[in-house]
Amino acid sequence: MAGAVAKIPSLLNTALAEARPKFAIFMKYAKVELAPPKISDIPQIKAGIAKLMNSAKTGAWKQQTVRQATLNTLVGAEVLFWFYIGECIGKRHFVGYDV
């Protein structure tokens, strides 16, 4: 038992040394991907919404591959799940509102 307790600091140091580069990479991408949109991004957002609306009107969404449709479905599900998580955080309850 004493031997196992003596190894804990070295195991923690090894774990931290392994985690630091991965955490640095995570933070590098998190700063870019999780940042709110800038003013300069608004024209691209408008163009994307217009393209989406045009695709819906013309039926171009029917010409997607199975892979593209699956990815779009997963992205939609992710947005929906984040909405529900935000609702739970905002109301501070999992079920119902505290009225």
Helices (H), the chain: 2-33, 42-58, 66-91
Tokens encoding 6: 């003596």
Predicted local confidence at residue 27, as pLDDT: 93
Nearest CA among 91, 73, 92 for reference residue 81: 73
pLDDT digits (tens, 9 = 90+) for 16-47: 899 899 999 999 998 988 888 899 999 999 99
Report the pLDDT value the prediction gives residue 86, as an integer from 0 to 100.
Answer: 85
39-94 per-position pLDDT tens digit:
999 999 999 999 989 988 998 888 889 999 999 999 999 999 989 888 888 877 77
